[in-house]
Structure 1
Amino acid sequence: MKHLYIKQKVFSLSGKFTVKDQQEKDVYYVEGSFMKLPKTFSIMNTARDEVALITKKMFSFLPKFFVEVNGKEAVTIKKEFSFFKPRYTIEAAGIEVKGNWWDMNFQVLQHGEVVGSVSKEWFTWGDSYKVQIINEEMETIIIALVVAIDCVKADQSAAANSATM
């Protein structure tokens, strides 16, 4: 079992942050596009090779995000039409997210078997997540999923803040 930690910088305009292991060594680098359309997040390994890409669909009635891992589309996150509470669905072949993913406390299952879990670290400056990897073959997709869900949440928060101004 492997533990990884995602700590985002609060005032990073470009959305750059790292994913660290238990020894606090960088394992992945995440870079968001700044002032570029469509909005993307690139996840790179220590050799700076891109292993995952998250893209927000530009022209869509409701927000939609695509997650590619190793050049193949792996996950789609899309907002569903609802009147009260925001509701999103995660679509992936054989992958399911159970728990409260909106509050970043969930398990990732593949074909009904738990392959990883995510929990939000409280009382930290910026968003921090602890990611437990049970099936190391799923490591990249789990990291991409966490970054994508956080991107969806940030997008929703920005939309809510601009609506109140």
Structure 2
Amino acid sequence: MYLIRERIFDIGNDFDITDESGRRVYHVDGKVLTLRDRLVIEDAQGREVASVHRRLVALRRTYAISIGGEKAADMRKKLITPFRDRYTVDVPGPDDLELRGDLLDHEYTVERGGRTVATVSKRWFTIRDTYAVDVAEGEDHLLILASVLALDLAQSRAEKEREEKERND
């Protein structure tokens, strides 16, 4: 299980991802003030191992996920999503991931082929902006964590756009 905690006192969107014992596994450097909203995931030694950035060319909000400098997946919201939010993480080949649930409250599942491969929950934490990601054994933990972060980035962007629209109306 991983815990993702936003650093409340840092400028920008920086997060630490820790294991259950509180040991930092990854650091996420958020470059959300850039044109393309970008997150850089670094290992415990500070080396970039993955990144997430918003693609500007897509009709739908799309986030590209790279691992080890190579494109690993694209995440986008499904067009028709009655009652619950749903996102698809399109990976090369037939093993796409689907994220579904109450995304604003960070209560959702990550599925592959109808099988739950990870759960995300904020329910058990009283610490602001902390949520747990529990990844099934044998799954690509970094891809799933990057997908969760892409979703967090997409939700943050959508919220900012809603607020801006309300101010302009």
TM-score with structure 1 setting the length = 0.81
Q: Measure, in 2, the Cα distance between the counterparts of 1:98 and 1:34.
A: 22
Is residue 157 of structure 1 aligned with residue 159 of structure 2?
yes
List runs of 5+ in structure 2 lacking aligned partners. none
CA RMSD of aligned residues (A): 2.7
Partners of 1:119 and 1:129 within 8 A in 2: yes
Partners of 2:29 and 2:40 within 8 A in 1: yes
Greater shift, 117-126 or 140-149, is seen at 117-126
Partners of 2:118 and 2:135 within 8 A in 1: yes
1:81 Cα deviation after fit: 5.6
Match of 1:54 in 2: 52
Match of 2:89 in 1: 91
List aligned pairs for 1:1-165, cutoff 5 A: 3-10=1-8, 12-33=10-31, 35-79=33-77, 89-93=87-91, 94-100=95-101, 102=103, 103-121=105-123, 124-165=126-167
Change (3 A) 1:53 1:85: same
1:85 Cα deviation after fit: 8.4
Change (3 A) 1:42 1:113: same
1:95 Cα deviation after fit: 2.8
Partners of 2:84 and 2:101 within 8 A in 1: no
Q: Measure, in 1, the Cα distance between the counterparts of 2:109 and 2:72.
A: 17
Deviations along 1:61-89, one digit per CA (max 9) or x if unpaired, are 4422111122232222234567x989663
Change (3 A) 1:81 1:55: same
Partners of 1:115 and 1:138 within 8 A in 2: no
Partners of 1:79 and 1:86 within 8 A in 2: no
Deviations along 1:97-148, one digit per CA (max 9) or x if unpaired, are 2540524222323445433221123663532111112225511011111111
List runs of 5+ in structure 1 lacking aligned partners. none
1:149 Cα deviation after fit: 0.5
Q: Measure, in 1, the Cα distance between the counterparts of 2:84 and 2:100.
A: 16
Aligned-partner residue type, residue 22 of structure 2: E
Q: Measure, in 1, the Cα distance between the counterparts of 2:49 and 2:76.
A: 22
Greater shift, 21-30 or 125-134, is seen at 125-134
Greater shift, 121-130 or 135-144, is seen at 121-130
Q: Measure, in 1, the Cα distance between the counterparts of 2:8 and 2:30.
A: 13
Query: How high is the sequence identity, in percent, across the aligned residues?
Result: 22
Tell me the secondary structure at the aligned position of residue 7 of structure 1.
Answer: strand
Q: Measure, in 1, the Cα distance between the counterparts of 2:2 and 2:40.
A: 18
Change (3 A) 1:78 1:11: farther
